[in-house]
Structure formats: C-alpha cells, structure tokens
Amino acid sequence: MDTNTTHSPNTTSESRPSAIKTLRRFFFVAWHASRFGAIAQALLTLAHGCIPIGILWASKELVNLIAAFLDEEADLSLETAAPWVAALVFLAMLRNIAGTCDGYLRWKMNNLIGLHQQGALLEATTHIDFAVFDQPQTYDLIQRARQALGHRLTNLLRFLTEIGQLCVTLVGYGVILWVADPLLVLVVVLPALPSAWIKIRAAERRYSHDYAATPVRRMMDYMLSLLLGTASGQEVRLYGLFNLLFGRWRTNHEKWKEESLGKIWTEARASIGTTIAEMIAYAVAIGILAARIVDGNLTLGDYVVLTGIAAFFQGDMEGLLRLIQNILEDVPLLRDLHLLLERGKMARTQSGTETFPQPLQQGVEVQNLRFQYPGATDDVLQDINFHVRPGEIVSIVGVNGAGKSTLIKLLLGLYKPDDGTIRYDKKNIAAIAPEQMALNCAAVFQDFARFRRPVREELVPGPPNLHIDDDALRRVINAVGLEERFQTLPRGLDTFLDPSLGEEGEGAELSGGEWQKVALARALVRNPQILVLDEPTAALDPQAEVELYQRFVELAAGRMTFLISHRIGSARLADRILVLDSGRIVEDGTHEALLARDGLYARFFQAQAHWYQ
C-alpha cells in the first residue's frame, strides 16, 4: 500500500532561518531583481557616507584660514580660500545629486523587489497543501508574510542603505577622533553599548507583540471587509449591523493600541538613561578637546571640527542603532515570508510531473483511502475503496459532515490522503502534475467562486495553456441557458460581471441562478474528462435542484461524473450511488438495488420522498 506525505507542519514547530540568512536572501532577491540597481545603490551608499567627512574636513581648513587671518598670522585671500569654498559647494551639490539618484533607485528597487516577492508569495499559497487552509495558524502566517511585503519590505532597503551610509561616515569620524586622541573614541562609543542592548531587546519584544497580535489584527481586517464589502453590505444596512461590527473593530483596535503603546512607553523610559549618559560623554569629549587646545596641540579649526564630529558621532551612532532595531523588528516578519515561500517551494518539488491519461481507459480506482484534517484527532474518511469507469455517473450521498466534499477534494488532487491511493488508469494521482489535473478535471462547488471579471475571463480563468475560442464559449453559454441574458450585456464577452469594476454603465450584475449557470459553463468549457457537481444548489428547493442536476447530467454525457448531495432526488440520475456515513462507504449500488436492500439509503429516500411528489 502506498502512503503519501500529508500536510505542512504547524508553523510553530518549523525552524525559521537566522537573521543573517534572511538578510542574505534579501540581498540575493535585490541582486536578482536588478544587478545594475544593486551596484548603483552600493556606490551611492558609499558616496553618501564619505561626503559628510569631506564637508567637515573642508570646513576645518576654512576655519583654520580664518583663525590665522584673525590672529594676523596669515593673509586671507581669494586664492587661498577659494579651493575650500569650492570644495564645500561641490560636496553639497554632490550630496543633493546623490540623494536624488538614491531616491529614484530606491523606489525602483523597492518596486522590483516587491513585485518579485509578491508574486512568489501568491504562487506559494497556490501550491501549499489546501487542507492546511482550514487552520487559523496558516492565515496568521500569511498575515505576517503580507505585513513583510508592505512597508516593512520597502523600509528594509532604506534601512540597509542608511546603515551603509552611517557605517562609512562613522568609520571616518572614528579615524579622525582616534588621530586626535584615542580616548575620544572610547568616550563617545561607551554610552552606545547599553543603548544597543536596549534596542535589541525592544526589537525582540515588538516582534513577540506583533506575533501575538496577529489574530487580533486579522479580526480587525475581517471586520473592515464586512463593513466595506459589497456582498455583506446589504445585510449590514438592512439589519443595522454597523454599530455592532464597528464596535468589534474598535474593541480589537483599542486592545492592540494599548498593548503597543505600553511597549513603546517601556522603551522610552529605558532610553532616558542612555540619553543622559550620552550627554555626559559629550561634555567629557568637549573637556578633553578644550584641554588640548589650551596646550596648543589643536588649532581652532581642529577644535570646531572635532567637537562637531563628537556630536555627529553620537547622533549617527544613535541613528545606526535605531535602524538596526528597525531591521531586527522586520527580519522576523521576513523570516515568516521566507518560511511561507519555502513551504511553497517544497510543495512544488513534491508535486507530480506526469501527464493525465489521454483518454481515460480504466477510470479511477480508490484503495484503502484515509484522510484526517491537520490538527484534528479523528479521521474524516477511512477505509474508502471503489472503482469508477470512464463515462460512469456516480452519486455520493450522505448527511452533512459525512465526508462527501472531502472525498471529492481528494479525487481532484486538492487534498492529499494520509494513507491509501487514488489511481487514474493505474497512475497514482501523486505522480500527476497539478496542471494536468486542472486541464482534465472540473467542478461546480457549493461555494463556487465569483471572480467578477469580464465574461470570457470568468468562463476561462486559466491555466495559461487553455485556449478557448469565442465560438466554443458561445456554444457552452447556449448549452447552460445564458445566451439570452448575455446578449443584453453592453460589451458582450468583454463585459465585467460587476457594475463596480467596469466602466460607467458597462458592468453587469447577475442573479444567483445566473451565477450558478456561469459556474457550470466554467466547468464545461474546458471539455474535461472528469466533472463534479458538489452541492451548488443548497439554496434551491428540492425539485429545482433535481432539474439543475438533470441539465448537468445531460451536458456531462460521456464523461466520468460525480454528483454530490445530501438530498436523494438527484441520486436517481446516477448509474451508481455511494452512501457515506461517518467517513465510510456503507452502501454501493444502483438506486433500485439500494432501495431493495432497505438500508441507510432507503431510509434517506423514504424520509425525503415527499419533496419530489
């Protein structure tokens, strides 16, 4: 018996990459996005870091010239002052030009990196085992990954470039102070050590807070979607739900805000002591420099520049530590993003690569199938065995929760079994490429999607290699009974199926029944070998449901077809009926045979017979 790798592990148990590895990945993404941009950004960072040192050096020489002139030790002429004035003007212009170029490059790189990572995230979520999307931890992880793709990712490039600039500047400042007096370096650096420790601890606390607050922020987003969404808007207004929903949003927001402000206040109190220490250190540095100038070891220009450097050093060091703190806050979110991307990459490598049988000769065979949702303790399906031939129509019936939809998701490759096998013409479904499953299988689900795109995109949303011409589209539209309705659309097959998305007066709104027909047309237009109708008619009365299933069976003629319902009326249209109860197939046969057996199916039928009389 074959077994299958089941589901992605819980996010809390997976090892996350280190901060260094995460940043290395970021640099690789930046390099991949634009090598020229990455190199240019590095050169601009170096220039930005060196320019302040050049400005201070030119300023020192100019002050020395003026001091010598005032002491009548030298003449101050245009010839002697002009080079330093020109240097100051040139460096100021260079700083402005570099800043403009840096802003442009940063914007370009942010967009390229964001596009790359956003695409990678969306692709990853389509490959991750679909079953784990029933777990809140998965949505929490996606929420944090999306946070990383927002301003956090944009800020990271800015933080890193500014850190590079400050590091170059601080090294230059440090060398100058060391040459003047090594004690100066020690004096200005020591107060930064406790500040560094405080900021690292603060970064850890902030991520822990953000991690714990993810469900709260996700609930806030959900409340907003209910308040702003079209689908929920009519009931929000009809039942006067604004105050209730807004109140819940505000309660969650206040909870998040109070916790956040508490963390910020704790950090602010801790920073007061380090600020006092930095001011004392600056006073000591000024005293050391004053003593040197009294001893005649420094010129006035040296004193002015060195006192300025001591102040700038402390300010830039504080800025550097704050940027490092910001990065340490953002890196864990980037780790969550990379964790999600790794999951998608792993899922892709585990996906099959073989083609779907063309055409199916023997059908689908299910052996000893067992499935359990991630995090659950009980099996949803167990010991499932059956064989369906090509062209056969099979109805799967059972009460709500019996496992009917879960079984269908396994047959379509959306879920992976914990044990057992599903084979199409003896080919294990695990070996078949997902793209091949998409080309050969189609379904109309109970909660079918409404993409609200133009008609042709609504009917043929993918995959990219699926080419359907307009004549084929119109044949399917006619077959499902939408010809008359679609003839009234303002832009034909290019009409948006949502008035809010198309240009003014060029969008269309469909009724619930018309949307069901769109979903049916979407399934049929692919001309798949396997068709599934999974209770999309729950809102219809039993007789209307039977009529829709009858139309579906007629349109699906010649294909392997599965009809899913907890109502019995549609089962009479099938060649065979599988009865599910508590995750097991308890009966298998034709409508007449199962009635004659007088088992569970017969009791279902007798209980619902009055619906169809």
Domain holding 84: CATH number? 1.20.1560.10
Could you tell me if residue 264 is inside a domain?
A: yes
Could you tell me if residue 336 is inside a domain?
A: yes
**What is the C-alpha separation between 109 and 31, in angstroms, rounded?**
10
Strand partners for 531: 442, 561
64 and 28 part of one domain: yes
Could you tell me if residue 1 is inside a domain?
A: no
- The per-residue pLDDT for range 516-564, each reduced to its tens digit, is 888 888 888 888 899 998 876 555 556 666 677 777 778 788 899 998 8
326 and 370 part of one domain: no
Closest CA to 550 of 461, 465, 481: 481
Could you tell me if residue 104 is inside a domain?
A: yes
- The per-residue pLDDT for range 365-376, each reduced to its tens digit, is 999 999 998 878
What does the DSSP 8-state code read for residue 361? S
96 and 211 part of one domain: yes
534 burial class (0-12, 13-18, 19+ CB within 10 angstroms)?
buried
Could you tell me if residue 356 is inside a domain?
A: no
Residue 303 has pLDDT above 80, yes or no: no
**pTM given for the model:** 0.66
- In degrees, to the nearest 5, what angle opens at C-alpha 260 toward C-alphas 259 and 261? 95
373 and 326 part of one domain: no
- In degrees, to the nearest 5, what angle opens at C-alpha 349 toward C-alphas 150 and 386? 115
394 and 304 part of one domain: no
**Distance (Å) of CA 164 to CA 46, 48, 169:** 7, 9, 9
**What is the C-alpha separation between 436 and 234, in angstroms, rounded?**
40
Domain termination site, one of 315, 346, 377 = 346
- Maximal C-alpha separation, the chain: 123
- The per-residue pLDDT for range 470-483, each reduced to its tens digit, is 888 888 888 888 88
Instruction: Please tell me the predicted confidence (pLDDT) of residue 530.
Output: 93
* CATH of residue 485: 3.40.50.300
Closest CA to 403 of 428, 375, 371, 429: 371
Structure tokens at 321: 């530590």
DSSP three-state, residue 314: helix
Give the CA radius of gyration of the chain.
35
End-to-end alpha-carbon separation of the chain, Å?
47
What does the DSSP 8-state code read for residue 334? H
Strand partners for 507: 496
| Total domains, the chain | 2
38 and 181 part of one domain: yes
Residue with the larger pLDDT of the pair 245 and 295? 245
Q: Are 567 and 601 in contact (CB under 8 A)?
A: no
Structure tokens at 548: 């829709």
Could you tell me if residue 128 is inside a domain?
A: yes
Instruction: Please tell me the predicted confidence (pLDDT) of residue 9.
Output: 41
Closest CA to 262 of 195, 209, 331, 204: 209
404 and 467 part of one domain: yes
430 and 511 part of one domain: yes
Residue 29 has pLDDT above 50, yes or no: yes
Q: Are 573 and 553 in contact (CB under 8 A)?
A: yes
Q: Which residue has the tokens 């047959």?
A: 411
Closest CA to 194 of 275, 263, 265: 275
- The per-residue pLDDT for range 149-181, each reduced to its tens digit, is 766 666 777 788 888 888 888 888 888 888 888
Instruction: Specify the long-range contacts of residues 290-294, CB closer than 8 Å, at least 24 apart.
Output: 292/180, 292/181
261 and 296 part of one domain: yes
Could you tell me if residue 354 is inside a domain?
A: no
368 and 234 part of one domain: no
**Pairing relationship of beta strands 393-397 and 560-565 according to DSSP bridges:** parallel
Structure tokens at 543: 């007789």
Could you tell me if residue 306 is inside a domain?
A: yes
Residue with the larger pLDDT of the pair 610 and 10? 610
Structure tokens at 311: 């102040």
- The per-residue pLDDT for range 344-353, each reduced to its tens digit, is 777 777 778 8
pLDDT > 90 fraction of the chain, expressed in percent and rounded: 15
Query: What rounded mean pLDDT belongs to the chain?
Result: 80
Instruction: Give the pLDDT mean for 4-21.
Output: 53
213 and 329 part of one domain: yes
**Pairing relationship of beta strands 393-397 and 576-581 according to DSSP bridges:** parallel
Is the Cα torsion angle 578, 579, 584, 589 positive or negative in sign? negative
Domain that holds residue 381: 364-612
Structure tokens at 534: 């999974």
Structure tokens at 570: 């549609």
Instruction: Please tell me the predicted confidence (pLDDT) of residue 360.
Output: 92
506 and 535 part of one domain: yes
611 burial class (0-12, 13-18, 19+ CB within 10 angstroms)?
middle
